[in-house]
Amino acid sequence: MDWNSDEFKQYLYDAITGNLAQTEKVASAQEVIKNEFASGALCNRLYQEVYQSNQNLCERLGTDEDKDVELIISNLFQIAEHLSKRMYDYGAAFSNVLKK
């Protein structure tokens, strides 16, 4: 897999967010790539707070789920994914500049 391909960036993002199905390939990646949503990790703790806040809000609103809150959470995850991939691109570009 080409390190600069969208496929690799998606693979890396899925690995770091713990969204890969368990395979041999994943097991070897986990030796190098830390799942930032693993139990006790910062992202896991922050996500638990987001989840609990969502539950609290829904309880106050008297509903099981609020579409606006779900949209906010979903869009923030999409923003984070987009920014993560751009950071990867910039890191690769700057490393090439520094090599010259």
For the chain, give the percent of residues with pLDDT over 90.
55
Contact yes or no for 47/66 (Cβ under 8 A): no
Nearest-angstrom CA–CA distance, 96 and 83:
20
Q: What pTM did the predictor assign?
A: 0.78
Q: Report pLDDT digits (tens) over 69-78.
A: 999 999 999 9
Given a cut of 90, whether residue 95 has pLDDT beyond it is no
Q: Report pLDDT digits (tens) over 22-45.
A: 655 666 666 788 889 999 999 999
Domain boundaries, the chain: 6-99
Nearest-angstrom CA–CA distance, 55 and 57:
5
**Distances in whole angstroms, Cα of residue 69 to Cα of each of 12, 65, 74, 76:** 27, 8, 9, 11
Element (H, E) at 84: helix 67-99
